[in-house]
Structure 1
Amino acid sequence: MTTYGELIKTEFPKLDDELFVYVDGIISGGADEFEDSDELYEAIGHVLEEVADEKTESEVRDVCDRILLILRPSSTEVKNEMRILNAPVNIASLAANIETVGEMKSIWMNQRDDGLKVDQRKLEKAEAKLQQKQDKRSGEPTKTVLAKPESASASQMVSKKDNKMDMKGTNRGLDIRIENFDIAYGDRVLLQGADMVMAFGRRYGLIGRNGLGKTTLLRMIAMGQLKIPSHISVLHVEQEVVGDDTPALESVLQCDLVRENLLQQEREITAKINSGHGDEELNSKLSEVYIQLQNIDADKAPARASVILAGLGFTADKQKRPTKEFSGGWRMRLALARALFSRPDLLLLDEPTNMLDMKAIIWLENYLQNWPTTLLVVSHDRNFLDTVPTDIFHLHTQRIDTYKGNYDNFIKIKTEKLKNQQREYEAQMAHRSHIQEFIDRFRYNANRASSVQSKIKMLEKLPELKPVEKETEVVLKFPDTEKLSPPILQLDEISFWYEKGKPIFEGVNLGATMESRICIVGDNGAGKTTLLKIVMGFLTPTKGARNVHRNLKFGYFSQHHVDQLEMKGCSVELLASEFPGRPTEEYRRQLGSFGVSGDLALQSIESLSGGQKSRVAFAKMCMALPNFLILDEPTNHLDIETIEALGKAINKFTGGIILVSHDERLIRMVCQELWVCGGGKIVAIEGGFDEYRKIIEKELEAVA
C-alpha cells in the first residue's frame, strides 16, 4: 500500500527535503488533526502549489483527498466497523479501572505525545525558504532578514492540540507548560531542550549563576516569545511608572480596568439622569452597574491599594503625591504596588528586593506568602527565597531542574543528589576497573577466552556515567592593606541638613577602626547615603567635626557606579583607560580576582549581566588599593554564590568596612556593629540584627 510520503514525492518531484520535512511534520500528527481534506489543503496546499508545476488548485486538492484516504479508513469501512451499544458507556470510569499491561497503555491515559509537536525553528526555516521561492517567482528581490547581533531569540515545541484549543478559545486551564524550548543570546546558547511546568497558585523561585539567562527568560515569557495560553494574563514588573500628575493611590487603582470602566459608566449615566433625561432604561442600567461594582468589591479597592502602598513604604502623605514627584526607585516601588494590586494569573518579578529597604522586604515576604495566583520570581536574597517560594527552578548547564520546597530544601536535596551521583559514579568506575583488570590479566589465556569475551560484553553494556558536574566556586579577593594606628575615623556631634530643609540627622557621634565591620540600616530616605558621603568627605557637615587618618584611603562601591560603567569596550580596556601604563596581565589578574576571567574579560561590558558588571566595578574600585571600603548596596544583581564569596572576602579584608545592605544573610555573616538611621538620629542597637528585625515587625503590626 502506498504511503502518503511516497504519494507526495511522486506527485511533487520538485519538493526538496526541507519542505518535505515541513509538510511531513504537519501531516504526521494524524488524520484526527484534520476534520476534512479542505482543512488539510489549508495546512499544506500553499507549499505544494509552489512546486506543483502545471497542477491546478483542484488537482492539488485531489492529492489532499488521497492523502486523507491513506491516513483515514474510508467511510464504508468505518460504517462496517460500527456497533450499536445497548447502554451508555462512562469512559471516565473505564479509564480509571484500566491498568497498564506490559508495554500496552490505555488510550485514555494522559500521555505527552511528542509526535504532535511542531518544531518552531524548522517551521520558520521552511517558511523563509518558501518566501524566497515566491519572491524569485514573482521577480522581486529576495529579502534577507539578518538577526541582530547580541539579541535574544527563542524557539519551542508547541502542541498542535493545545494550539487549536487556544485558537478556538476552549482552553481555560491556568496551569502553564512551556516544553522543550531553547533560548540563545547572539551565538551563545542559554537554554536547550528546557521544560517549565507551573501549577496555578504556586510560587516559583528562579535561581542560577549570573549571566545564565534568568532575566532573559522572564522577558521571553512576558513578550510572548515563549508561548503560553493566550487567556492567561501575564505581568512583568520591569519598568518604572511614568511620572505625571496622577496621585500614587489613584495610579494603583487605575490598574483595575474592570472597576475603572464600571465607574466611568456610572459617571456617564448619572450625568445623563441629572441633566434631565427621562429614559427609564438609564435607571435600570445604573442599577446593573451598581450590582457589578458590588460583586467585585469596588468599594474595598481603595483600602486594599492603600495597604499595599503602605507596606512598600508610602506614607499617607506620599500616597496623595503625584507620581512625577517620586524618584526612579520610588516609581519602581509604585510599579510593584500596581502589579500586586492587579493580581495577574502569572506575576513575574525580577529582583524585587533590590529597590526596597528592610521594612518593605519583610512586608513583601509576608504578603507574597498568601499570593493567590502563580508567581515566578528571580531573586538572590537567600532569606527571601527561604520565605516565599513553594518550588525552586534551578537554571544551570543550559537546562532547568525543578525542586519542591524553598531554597533551604533545594540545597539539601541538591547536595544529597550530588553525593548519590558521585557515589554511583565512583562505584561504577571501581567496577569497570575490576572488570578491565580481569580482561588485561587473562586476555591471552586460551583457557579463559570465553570468560574474557563475556567480561568485554559486560563492560560494553554498562551505562556510561559522566563525572558529576560541579559549579566552579566563586572567589572574590580584596587587596591586602597595611595597619594604621588609631584614631582612624571619628565623627563628633555631626548634624546635617540641606538648605532650607529640616535636619537629616543631628548630634551623631560615631567612630570606626581598621577592624570595623559596620552595617547601616534604616528606611529609604532616612539618611544612610548622606552619612556615607559625610564619612568620605563628599559632603561637609552643617555642624560638628569629621576627623580621619591622613593615610586613610576610601574605596567606594555604589550601584550607580555599576550603571555608569563605560559600556562600549571590554573590562580590560576599562581598567586600562582608568589606570593607564600598566601591563595587560595586571588588568586581567585584577579582573580574575573578582571572577571576570578568560573570554569574559574581553566581552563587551554592555553584554554582561548585572552581576558581572558589579564584579567589574569591584575590580575597578580595588585597583586603587583602598584600605577602607564603603559599600552601598553591593549585593544588587549578585547571585547567591557571589554574595557568599563577598561575605568571605569582607571577613578576610584587613581594612575597615562600612556597609549599607538589605541582604539579611550578608549582614548576619559579616557585621559586628549595627547602626540604625531614622527619626533624625543614628544609633547603635544592642542585640544585633535579631533585635532590629523585632523592631520592624512591631512597626508593621502597628500599621496593619
Structure 2
Amino acid sequence: MFNTLKLNTSNSSKSNVLLKAPIQLSQMTGHADHKTEDVKGIWMMRRDLGTTVDAKKLEKAEARLKAKQEKRTEKNSQKTANPLILEEASASQASNKKESRLEASGKNKSYDIKIENFDVSYGDRSLLTGADLHLAYGRRYGLVGRNGLGKTTLLKMMSARSLRIPSHISILHVEQEVVGDDTQALKSVLECDTVRESLLQKEKELTTKLNSGVGDGTESSKLTEIYAKLEEIEADKAPARASVILAGLGFSSKMQQQMTREFSGGWRMRLALARALFAKPDLLLLDEPTNMLDVRAILWLENYLQTWQSTILVVSHDRNFLNAVATDIVHLHSQRLETYRGDYENFVKTKEERLKNQQREYEAQQQYREHIQVFIDRFRYNANRASQVQSKLKLLEKLPELKPLEKELEVTLRFPDNFEKLSPPILQLTEVDFSYTPEHRIFINLSVSADQDSRICIVGENGAGKTTLLKILLGDLTPNQGIRHAHRNLKIGYFSQHHVDQLEMNVSSVELLASKFPGRPEEEYRHQLGGYGISGDLAVRPVASLSGGQKSRVAFAQMTMAQPNFYILDEPTNHLDMETIEALGNALQKFKGGVILVSHDERLIRMVCKELWVCGCGTVKRVDGGFDEYKDILQEQFRKEGFL
C-alpha cells in the first residue's frame, strides 16, 4: 500500500497527477471485470506512459521458460526412475595371423605375454590407443599412472581375456572379496588348488568303491596313480603352506578356522589375496593390494612376492612397496604404455632424464627448422636459388615431426588454516577404558593428548583398535570409564577409510557440495573442487563414474570446505596416485593445525608424522625411534615366527 503515488506522463507538460486516496494494487489486478473509469486516475494514464509490450516476444520467452522447466522435470524424473547408467569398458586389438596360427596349433609354449597394437576405452573415452604391453615370464611389473587414466580398466580387460593372452597361461585377478559362507578360511584357500582338490575327490571315490566291494577291480591301480600325483604336487604340504600365507596376512590360528561369512569385507579381501598367492597363477594381477593391509602385513607381502616365480602385474600407489617388489615399471600416460627397467626410484630418475632429452631434441629440431625456413623465405622468389629452395623444402618434409614435451599437470592440495591458535591441550583422553562387550576390552587405562602442533601417526595390526581410538577422540564413541576433553573451539575434519564409499553416487561433485553447503554460488563449489583436481567435465559427471582416486579428491574437497583446525585421517591414501599422495603430504606439512593420521603408507608417514603411536594389547605405546624402529620390531617378529 502506498500513501501517495506520483506518475510521470509522456505528454509535453510532464505534469504530475496526485492520487487523493490510497490504492491497493493487488485488489485491482486480481479482478478482470474492473472498468477503467471505476479506478479513477491510475488506469486512465496507462496508455499515456508510452510503454508497449511485444506480444510475440513475450510468447516466445514464456515458451522458452516452459520448455526449460519441462526439460528439468524430465531430467529429475529420469534420475528417479533410472538413478545411474554407468558406461562400460571395452578393448580392441589388431589381428595377428602368425600368433593366431601358433595359438590354434597348440605349439605356443612360451609364458611371455605380448599384447600389441590394442585400444582400451571406457564408454566414449579412449584410455589407450595403439598401445603395446610386453611381460616377460618371471618378472614383476608395477603399473603406475595418474588416477582415472585406465590402470584398473586395463587389468580387467586382461583378466577377462578381452585382450589376446595365450590360452595356456592361467590368470588370476584379485579384484573382489571372497563370498561369505560356511567354508572355513583355511579350507577356502586350499580349495583354490583345483588339481589337488580333484585328485583328493577321486581318491575318496575310489577308496569308497574299494572298501564297499562294488568296484571293477581297477581301483587299486588307479589309487596308486593318484597317490603318485599327490606326492608329485606335494599335496601333504598344502595345508601348512596355506596356513603360512594366511598367518602372514594377519589371520591367527583361530581365525583360520572361522567361517568366511564371519569376516568383514576387508578380511575377505585379504582372504582373496591369500587364495591367489596359494594358487600360483602364471599371471597374477593385483590392484592396490596394500589398501586392505596394515604395515605388518605389507612387509610380509613384500618379502613373499620377492620370491615369486611367475609373472606379476600390480597397480600400487605405495612407492616403498614398488621399490621392494617391482623389477620393472610400466607407465601409463598419454594413452600409451612405456616400460622401464628397475624399481620405482629408478623409474623416476630415468623418466626425468628421458623427458629432458626429448625436450632438448625438440628444441634443437625447432631451431634447425627455423634456420631452414629463414633460407626458404629469403630466396623463395630468387630464380638462381630455386633448386636450393626446393631441396630445403624436401628436407623439411622428411624431418620427423617431434612433439613438444607434454607436462603432466602438477597436483596441489591445500588445507585452509585461517584460524586462531588454541591453547593446549586441545584434545585429550585421560585414564580411558573402552569395550564393545565385557569380554572384548579394547583399551584399559589409556591416556593420550594432542595439540595444534601434533603430527601423530597411529599404527598397529588390523583389529588392534586404531579406528576405535579415532572414534573415541572424535567423540563418536563414549568411554566406559575415563574422560575425553576437547577444546571448545576445536573443529575436527574427519576422513574415514570408508569415506569414498559413503559419497552420494547419483549426483555430480558440484551437486554434492551444494547439498552439504547450500546457498553458495556454483563458482565457489567449482573452485573448491578444482583445488583438488576435479575440474571441468569431471565436476559435473556422476560421482559413481569417477575413479577411486577422483572420488577421494571429492571427499577431501567436501571435508576441507568447512575449514577445520584439526584433521583426523583414517587411511586417506587408499585409491590415491603417488602424485596426489605427495601433494597430500606437502599440504599436511604446511597446515598450521593438528593432525592425527592412521596410515600404512611409509612415504606419507615419513613426510608428515613426528610421533608414532603403536596400538595394541589394550593400550597405545609411543615409539621414540619413529617408523624405522617400528619396522625393526616387525622384522624381528617375522624372524621369531619363521617368516624370514
Alignment of 1:581-600 (within 5 A): 581-600=519-538
Cα deviation code 1:252-290 (max 9, x no counterpart): 111111111111122222222333458642222222211
d(CA) in 2 for partners of 1:594 and 1:501? 44
Matched, 1:651 2:589: yes
Q: Give 1:94's aligned residue.
A: none
Alignment of 1:180-195 (within 5 A): 180-195=117-132
Q: 1:384 to 1:475 in 2, by over 3 A?
A: same
Amino acid at match of 2:612: L
Alignment of 1:247-326 (within 5 A): 247-276=184-213, 280-326=217-263
Q: Give 1:426's aligned residue.
A: 363
Q: Give 2:624's aligned residue.
A: 686
Deviation at 1:461, TM superposition (A): 4.1
Amino acid at match of 1:681: T
Partner SS state of residue 498, structure 1: strand
Amino acid at match of 1:505: F
Q: Give 2:89's aligned residue.
A: 152
Deviation at 1:451, TM superposition (A): 5.9
Q: Is the 8 A contact 2:460 2:466 kept in 1?
A: yes
Matched, 1:604 2:509: no
Amino acid at match of 2:274: A
Deviation at 1:443, TM superposition (A): 6.1
d(CA) in 2 for partners of 1:321 and 1:606? 34
Amino acid at match of 1:623: M
Q: 1:455 to 1:263 in 2, by over 3 A?
A: closer
Deviation at 1:166, TM superposition (A): 2.3
d(CA) in 2 for partners of 1:278 and 1:220? 47
Matched, 1:207 2:140: no
d(CA) in 2 for partners of 1:493 and 1:658? 20
Deviation at 1:668, TM superposition (A): 0.7
Q: 1:230 to 1:455 in 2, by over 3 A?
A: closer
d(CA) in 2 for partners of 1:452 and 1:260? 78
Cα deviation code 1:639-667 (max 9, x no counterpart): 01111011011111111110000000111
Q: Give 2:106's aligned residue.
A: 169
Matched, 1:676 2:614: yes
Q: Give 1:573's aligned residue.
A: 511
Amino acid at match of 1:272: K
2:173 aligned to which of 236, 245, 248: 236
Cα deviation code 1:54-81 (max 9, x no counterpart): xxxxxxxxxxxxxxxxxxxxxxxxxxxx
Matched, 1:467 2:404: yes
Gaps of 5+ in 1: 1-147
Deviation at 1:462, TM superposition (A): 3.4
Deviation at 1:460, TM superposition (A): 4.4
Q: Give 1:636's aligned residue.
A: 574
Deviation at 1:431, TM superposition (A): 2.9
d(CA) in 2 for partners of 1:278 and 1:341? 35
d(CA) in 2 for partners of 1:682 and 1:534? 13
d(CA) in 2 for partners of 1:686 and 1:607? 44
Deviation at 1:535, TM superposition (A): 0.6
2:561 aligned to which of 618, 623, 635: 623
Deviation at 1:501, TM superposition (A): 2.5
Deviation at 1:525, TM superposition (A): 0.4
Deviation at 1:374, TM superposition (A): 1.1
Q: Give 1:25's aligned residue.
A: none
Q: Is the 8 A contact 1:481 1:655 kept in 2?
A: no
Partner SS state of residue 129, structure 2: strand
Q: Which moved more, 1:481-490 or 1:178-187?
A: 481-490
| TM-score, normalising length: structure 2 | 0.84
Q: Which moved more, 1:228-237 or 1:610-619?
A: 228-237
Matched, 1:517 2:421: no
d(CA) in 1 for partners of 2:148 and 2:217? 64
Partner SS state of residue 197, structure 2: helix
Amino acid at match of 1:644: E
Q: Is the 8 A contact 2:417 2:592 kept in 1?
A: yes
Amino acid at match of 1:219: K
Alignment of 1:357-372 (within 5 A): 357-372=294-309
Q: 1:444 to 1:270 in 2, by over 3 A?
A: closer
d(CA) in 2 for partners of 1:343 and 1:664? 28
Q: Is the 8 A contact 1:158 1:179 kept in 2?
A: no
How many positions carry a matched residue from both structures?
557
Amino acid at match of 1:519: C
Alignment of 1:523-534 (within 5 A): 523-534=461-472
Q: Is the 8 A contact 2:427 2:450 kept in 1?
A: yes
d(CA) in 2 for partners of 1:460 and 1:195? 28
Cα deviation code 1:295-315 (max 9, x no counterpart): 111111111111100100011
Matched, 1:548 2:486: yes
Q: Give 1:23's aligned residue.
A: none
Q: Give 1:217's aligned residue.
A: 154
Gaps of 5+ in 2: 1-84
Partner SS state of residue 560, structure 1: coil
Q: 1:581 to 1:199 in 2, by over 3 A?
A: same
Percent identity reads 69
Q: Give 1:411's aligned residue.
A: 348
Amino acid at match of 2:230: L
Alignment of 1:99-110 (within 5 A): none
Cα deviation code 1:396-421 (max 9, x no counterpart): 11111111111111111111101111
d(CA) in 2 for partners of 1:155 and 1:398? 14
Q: Give 1:666's aligned residue.
A: 604
Cα deviation code 1:134-186 (max 9, x no counterpart): xxxxxxxxxxxxxx861111110132232233234332221111111111111
Q: Is the 8 A contact 2:170 2:281 kept in 1?
A: yes
d(CA) in 2 for partners of 1:343 and 1:295? 16
1:197 aligned to which of 126, 129, 134: 134
Amino acid at match of 1:696: L
2:290 aligned to which of 353, 357, 362: 353
Partner SS state of residue 538, structure 1: coil
Q: Give 2:279's aligned residue.
A: 342
d(CA) in 2 for partners of 1:175 and 1:445? 60
Cα deviation code 1:90-133 (max 9, x no counterpart): xxxxxxxxxxxxxxxxxxxxxxxxxxxxxxxxxxxxxxxxxxxx
Deviation at 1:459, TM superposition (A): 4.2
Amino acid at match of 1:344: P
Alignment of 1:120-135 (within 5 A): none
Q: Give 1:5's aligned residue.
A: none
Amino acid at match of 2:449: G
Deviation at 1:499, TM superposition (A): 2.4
Alignment of 1:367-386 (within 5 A): 367-386=304-323
Amino acid at match of 1:420: N
Q: Is the 8 A contact 1:494 1:543 kept in 2?
A: yes
d(CA) in 1 for partners of 2:162 and 2:394? 48
Q: 1:448 to 1:283 in 2, by over 3 A?
A: closer
Amino acid at match of 1:402: T
Deviation at 1:195, TM superposition (A): 0.8
1:484 aligned to which of 414, 417, 422: 422
Amino acid at match of 2:135: M
Q: 1:283 to 1:485 in 2, by over 3 A?
A: same
d(CA) in 2 for partners of 1:280 and 1:386? 58
Q: Give 1:12's aligned residue.
A: none
d(CA) in 2 for partners of 1:492 and 1:657? 19
Q: Is the 8 A contact 2:86 2:545 kept in 1?
A: no
| TM-score, normalising length: structure 1 | 0.77
d(CA) in 1 for partners of 2:564 and 2:175? 35
Q: Which moved more, 1:456-465 or 1:677-686?
A: 456-465
